[in-house]
Structure 1
Amino acid sequence: MEPWLLVTEDGEIPLPEALPDWDYQMDLHLRRTVRVDLRRARAQSGLPVEAALMLAAVWTATGSNLSGPAQHVRLTDDGTRGVDLDVLLRGADLGGLLLLDTALVLAERRHDARPSSPRRAGSVLWSDRATLRLQGDAPQFPMAVIDFARTSFPDGAAWHLQISGNLESATMGSLLLLINERSTVTAAAFKNAGKPGPVDRIVLSAVYADAARTMIEHALGLDDFVEEGDFPDGSLGATLVGLFDQLFPGRSITDIRLRRRQSPALFASDLQAAVKIFEGAR
């Protein structure tokens, strides 16, 4: 197989490890060529010469919890076949780590297969995976606007902050703010974030406050989030420590963790006051 290529306005470039300037409005156009020796593939898999195969490409985005088929090509001829994969992925469906799986599979069930050979449709004869980190080094808070109805998130939720990885993981690969496109007020607020109106400011303030609460509660729930923790620059741990120090200057992690455990309602009010909810909406 040839490597995946990213199609840009300036031409095609080899797929990089990360796209630091990516955002949800940026669609991805990808290409690659795979050459399949069909006779050899069938022979080494114990399949008859007439067995139909299929070359399939599938994408998965860890940030949006979405995946889907990118392209598939049925292969019934003999000899060596070159297959051009040409894929266009909507930016609104992506986020986090993009996984690109290419696989040669059995196209249809074989009832006459030998015990040691593939027989079920979709049996994988060969596979290859490429990865692309989206927003890996971006200075902005990583986010994506998606349709929650196509995910496991509640349809009626306006946003969801996704946190993954451990405290040593890179911040921009561990955090993703998902906006439900069905919540038109919320989606509009982020679209107008450069010049927000009065309603936009209220929504943005509420999302900021909720994101800060989620991050602090996530941190306090981890045993290794402690004062003496030494986290690398750019890591999730360093980001959470920075946020904690900003919201609770002069307070210890132990004290705040105890406050949350003993008086959760007061802790919620403390956090609300710390983030200064709606103060920026004036």
Structure 2
Amino acid sequence: MGRIAFPFLTLDQTAISPEPWVLLDGGLETPIGDAWLPDWDAARDLRLRRLVTTDLDRAADLLSMPIDDGVLELVTRIGTGIGNMPRRIIATSKLPLTRMEPTIVIDEVVPGHSLSQRLLVDTLVILRQPREGSPLSPDLAGSKLWSDQLDLRLEGEEPRFPMEAVSFLERFAGRPEAYAPWLLHWTPGNLHRDFGGSVRLYLNRDRADVTDRLLAGDRATTQVVLADVMTQIISVSLRQNDFERLAEEADPCSIAGRAAHWIGLAFPGQDIAAVRSMIDLRPSAFHAGILAAADIVSLEDGA
């Protein structure tokens, strides 16, 4: 899979040089080297730190535009939530980049009680103040010029989402689904069953154009696929007349628990009955709400 082609010039590691994130605990630094955070509990606050060194002269060369102090901004955004994609932003910091302080220390304390099964930390450099440059220079405030991401799952809290890439032409030979880019395999019925053990997303290995983008974390592809998964499970769940009771009693890691959580994200402040009626009366709003909730990155802070 090739690199994403942005419509404007961007920065690379010669202009933005980040060091790995570390955990601070009792004055000791522990490098984060795994996608699972060990020995975590809700009473434990997390302190994250990293150094980011910038070269604004090199940035000016790469962007083909003058870069004064404050033209670029370093943004750190911390999110959490249940499921594959964090939906609640719990901390955001913004620091202007200057030549006087080429090395920035990012030091964030995340209260343990605010965490919910997954921690996602985005670090971005955005254009704060556009300047005259070449035709390929970024010219809109808020343009993302560089980014990286730390993705941590909290040990013992969340099962990995089950996905498997297979050849649909072989697995589903002679059936209509052989040409689908993905397929959600699950059997509606007992919504108390464990989500991770009852639901599996098959990716069509014959459709590398879609599968490669999804596995690489492409935002739009992930949003569409996750929205399809959410729509299927929410729609079936809402057809059960006693889903209100099931949602209240369900374990968060069950199918009903996951469906209830997704409904809360897509339709905040609305009760189950209102969302159920939306399927028939306002289907476009129903699908748009789920598609919006499936977005991998929250843009509430406008970054």
TM-score between both structures, scaled by the size of structure 1: 0.48
> Which structure has the greater CA radius of gyration?
1
TM-score between both structures, scaled by the size of structure 2: 0.45
